[in-house]
Amino acid sequence: MEEIGHNYIQVNGLKLHVAEVGSGSSPAVVFLHGFPEIWYSWRHQMIAVAKAGYRAIAPDYRGYGRSDPPPDPEKATFSDFLADILALLDALSIPKAFLVAKDFGVRVACVFALLHPGKVEGVVTIGIPFLPPTPMNFQELLPEGFYISRWQEPGRAEADFGRLDAKTVVRNVYIMFSKSEVPTAHENQEIMDLVEPSAPLPPWFTEEDIAVYGALYEKSGFRTALQVPYRSMGTKFDIPDPKVEVPALLIMGEKDYVLKFPGIEDYIRNGTVKSFVPNLEIVFMPEGGHFVQEQSPDEVNDIVLKFLRSHH
């Protein structure tokens, strides 16, 4: 990834690590990662959009990767992440940007577009559709061993993860999230035990990749990551009419386990999502899983670039 540069930007009293490639005068595309991801998750997309004439910017959220941790990670909120993205755009003198988001980064991107529509050219979401910014309650509709329920329980994930090094935790989550079933443990089983130590990595993910993730999570740990998103899903945003009016694109792998969340597939396929995002284009990738931007980067790059060119 020698083409990608790295900087630290001071925002809201913290230094955020920002990966960047492309001309500073080009239209900006800001990439927002999920969990257990990091700026590196966007390596293929960043280089592709930069070669196409855009400025690619991928921050690590506060408490993730090389960015500073928040003063009290257990009190971090989605609102902190939103404020950091706003401050980052200001610090980089970017009046308006495209947002490309994955996993829980979708909530960051979509709420940002609701709060600051004048700063957003368009939004691309991968793996999760826009959901109204109300508390999420999937755990109420799924078994006790649902991974989000377990990770929301104070101390449980810490004890589970703490048995392993950071690289193994990320490895296990990548393997688990790459399957098409919702990760769910039995009553007397922990989430990390869902993956056998001998289980192979997905074929599109290398040992070199997992070494990068492992080193970054070794530095940051998982305190902030467990707080945002998992223990902050009850966050309420006071947005009377949560409608994303900017151009939007949803890329969804048909083998992504998120489609098995109660109601999600119907919400997308029957068009309900378009009542909140009227200018939404939806692309299903038949073989795509949860990490489709890493699994099928060329295909995702083509879809994203077509969208960017259509709206700039």
Q: Quote the pLDDT of residue 2.
A: 57
Q: Quote the pLDDT of residue 235.
A: 86
Tell me the mean pLDDT in the region 218-242.
Answer: 93
Q: Quote the pLDDT of residue 1.
A: 52
| Pick from 185, 181, 178, 222: nearest CA to 203 | 178
Q: Which of 54, 174, 230, 257 is an active site residue?
A: 230
Nearest-5° Cα angle at 136, 276 to 113 = 40
Tell me the mean pLDDT in the region 15-35.
Answer: 96
Q: Which of 60, 80, 84, 103 is an active site residue?
A: 103
Q: How many domains does the chain have?
A: 1
- Could you read off the pLDDT of 145-169 as tens digits, one per residue? 999 999 999 999 999 999 999 999 9
DSSP string over the chain: -TT-EEEEEEETTEEEEEEEES-TTSPEEEEE--SS--GGGGHHHHHHHHHTT-EEEEEPPTTSTTSPPPSSGGG--HHHHHHHHHHHHHHTT-S-EEEEEETTHHHHHHHHHHH-GGGEEEEEEESS----SS---GGGGS-TTBHHHHHHSTTHHHHHHHTS-HHHHHHHHHHHHTSSS--B--TT--GGGGS-TTPPPPTTS-HHHHHHHHHHHHHH-SHHHHHTTGGGTT-----SS----S-EEEEEETT-GGGGSTTHHHHHHTSGGGGT-TTEEEEEETT--TTHHHHSHHHHHHHHHHHHHHT-
Tell me the mean pLDDT in the region 200-226.
Answer: 96
Q: Quote the pLDDT of residue 135.
A: 75
Tell me the mean pLDDT in the region 224-252.
Answer: 94
Per DSSP bridges, beta strands 55-59 and 14-21 are antiparallel
Which pLDDT band, with edges at 50, 70 and 90, does 297 fall under? very high
- Integer CA distances (angstroms), 165 to 22, 146, 278, 296, in order: 35, 23, 44, 28
Distance in angstroms (rounded) separating the CA atoms of residues 37 and 163:
20
Dihedral angle at the C-alpha atoms of 265, 151, 174, 123, nearest 10 degrees? 50
The answer to whether residue 290 is catalytic is yes
Q: How far apart are the first and last CA of the chain?
A: 27
For all residues of the chain together, what is the average pLDDT? Answer: 96
* Model confidence at 98: pLDDT above 80: yes
Omega of the bond leading into 36 within 30 degrees of 0 (cis) = yes
Q: Which domain holds residue 119?
A: 5-310
Which pLDDT band, with edges at 50, 70 and 90, does 133 fall under? confident
Which pLDDT band, with edges at 50, 70 and 90, does 67 fall under? very high
Which pLDDT band, with edges at 50, 70 and 90, does 137 fall under? confident
- Integer CA distances (angstroms), 108 to 6, 89, 137, 207, 291, in order: 22, 14, 18, 30, 18
Q: Quote the pLDDT of residue 238.
A: 87
Residue with tokens 């630290």: 8
Q: Quote the pLDDT of residue 116.
A: 97
Q: Quote the pLDDT of residue 138.
A: 77
Distance in angstroms (rounded) separating the CA atoms of residues 128 and 274:
14
Residue with tokens 């790059």: 301
- Give this prediction's pTM: 0.97
Tell me the mean pLDDT in the region 13-42.
Answer: 96
Q: What is the CATH number of the domain that holds 35?
A: 3.40.50.1820
The answer to whether residue 103 is catalytic is yes
- Could you read off the pLDDT of 261-293 as tens digits, one per residue? 999 999 999 999 999 999 999 999 999 999 999
Tell me the mean pLDDT in the region 126-131.
Answer: 96
Q: Quote the pLDDT of residue 60.
A: 98
Residues belonging to the chain: 312
Tell me the mean pLDDT in the region 234-242.
Answer: 88
Longest dimension (CA), the chain: 55
Which pLDDT band, with edges at 50, 70 and 90, does 139 fall under? confident
